Amino acid sequence: KPLVIRVIHNGTQLEVMVLLPHVAKLHALMPFKAPPDMSRYVLSPMPGLLVDVAVVPGQKVQAGERVAVIEAMKMENVLFAAADGVVGKVLAAKGESLTVDQPIVEFA
């Protein structure tokens, strides 16, 4: 099991893995898989029921504008746009049960 050390120096943060020599050789042979870019999406932060979608495809939205409402544990949570943009697709329908990190709205 690798040891992961977080180093902070002059405001720069790095995570370093400490491996045994033979494990480091094997690790170097493994392909790197970059995580998908999810910055264009509004994601569900928790499991819940989608109560309202306040946008439609093609609509221009500004940062801080209401995009959707999720109900979880009898509380409504409003999701806002993180940046200005144009709605490309609405990926979830009102009344749909959502999982954590499920995309709700995609920006063009």
Q: Write phi, then psi, for 77 (nearest 5 degrees).
A: -120, 120
Model pTM score = 0.66
pLDDT score for 33: 86
pLDDT score for 53: 97
* Residue pLDDT, tens place only, 65-105: 999 999 999 999 999 999 999 999 999 999 999 999 999 99
Question: Which residues are paired to 52 by β-bridges?
Answer: 69
Half-sphere exposure of 84 (CA within 13 A, CB side): 1
pLDDT score for 34: 86
If we measure between CA atoms, which residue out of 46, 61, 4 comes closest to residue 27? 4
Residue extents of the structural domains in the chain: 41-107
pLDDT score for 59: 96
Sign of CA pseudo-dihedral 66, 68, 72, 76: positive
* Residue pLDDT, tens place only, 23-71: 889 988 988 888 888 889 999 999 999 999 999 999 999 999 999 999 9
If we measure between CA atoms, which residue out of 107, 47, 57 comes closest to residue 80? 107
CATH number of 41-107: 2.40.50.100
Q: Count, in order, helices (H) and strands (E) of the chain.
A: 1, 10
